[in-house]
């Protein structure tokens, strides 16, 4: 789990009757741990894909829908997975699963 991101349900910030779309992404692998937050869903998938393609060995990544927590802590609450990906070291392909 990326730093500053936690699972849970709590109050959500709502703007104009709709919650703003935010996505966190993270990639874990051999000597690799990267992640971030963006308001662009496609960009989150591109970041994961690029990190996996450059990762040495086997690596995995995920994109999550998140919301800024109103708990007073500087964290995001995970609202659900948007996609998971992994890189197969043998054939070098990045595979995606979107629920």
CB atoms within 10 A of CB 3: 9
> Which range of residues forms the domain containing residue 9?
5-97
pTM, entire model:
0.77
Is 81 within 8 Å of 92 (Cβ atoms)? Answer: no
Q: Quick one: 77 exposed, middle or buried, by C-beta within 10 A (0-12, 13-18, 19+)?
A: buried
Please write the tens of the pLDDT for every residue from 13-69. Answer: 455 556 669 999 999 998 889 999 999 999 999 999 999 998 888 899 999 999 999
How many separate domains does the chain show? 1
């Amino acid at each position: 789990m990326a730093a500053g991101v936690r699972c849970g349900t709590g109050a959500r910030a709502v703007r104009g009757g709709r919650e703003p779309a935010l996505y966190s992404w993270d990639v874990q692998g051999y000597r690799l741990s990267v992640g971030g937050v963006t308001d662009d869903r496609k960009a989150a998938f591109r970041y994961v894909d690029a990190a996996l393609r450059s990762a040495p060995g086997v690596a995995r990544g995920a994109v999550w829908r998140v919301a800024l927590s109103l708990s007073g802590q500087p964290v995001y609450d995970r609202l659900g997975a948007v996609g998971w990906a992994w890189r197969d070291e043998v054939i070098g392909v990045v595979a995606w699963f979107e629920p």
